[in-house]
Structure 1
Amino acid sequence: MAFLLATWGLDSGFVPSVQSSFAKKLTGAHTYLQILKEHLTLFDDKLQNCKYEQRKKIEALKETTNSMVELIKHCIVLQQIAKSTINFADATYQSSPWEPVINTMLTLNLLSCVSESHACLPYQLDLY
């Protein structure tokens, strides 16, 4: 059995790489989320001491940043769901009764992202 797993590339090195890949992606998403949250507090500080025109720009940036924070939170939840549905012991996917609901939520979220302005933002989060 071990020979077959090694032949197919599913030897013992496969599982830790999948686990570390998920861990790295979750850590990266959490780090990016913290950076955006720090920027939100900076926006609040700048809003107190600025002129009307600057206030409008900063409020627009703050609103966009809030949207990005919510999207990143959603991505983190989806990554955690994906991580929990993979059985790392034998590297197989275990389907969930919630899979159609999750797929629908993801599709609706992606459609709303495309229709809103943050699809064109210069920020990119590499989750994959």
Structure 2
Amino acid sequence: MIREDKFLISRKSFAIDLDTVTGSQAGGIDHVTFSGQANAVWYRRQNGVTRACIGTLKLWSHYLPQRLNLDDPRDILAADLDGRYGGDCDGRWDGERYWGAQKPEVIEQHLELLRPMLANYPAIPAGYDGWWRF
């Protein structure tokens, strides 16, 4: 992944909760495979409407030249990971409508983060590190 200081919605960047970056790796003679995930938030635009999203990123690579330091989330994120599928969205807020969870307590948790996130677009919410892109 590539970390950028400037946010551009066209780059499909993510702000990541570094405390949630996890994964495992297996090594062969000439390469290492990695599979992991992280909690993230991001912005997307559809039909001219900006949306704040919360969910999970799948982090993986079938070929890395060397082992990653699994205790260092930035080392994991800086690897050449594949993210062609983007984030798995658990909740989304467009300023008018919420889409996502069905449990009221989860909806409240999501909106507690997504409402100010959208209101302060394109700010990174507290507790997240960004902007990361594949």
Which structure has the bigger radius of gyration? 1
Larger strand share, 1 or 2? 2
TM-score (norm 2): 0.25
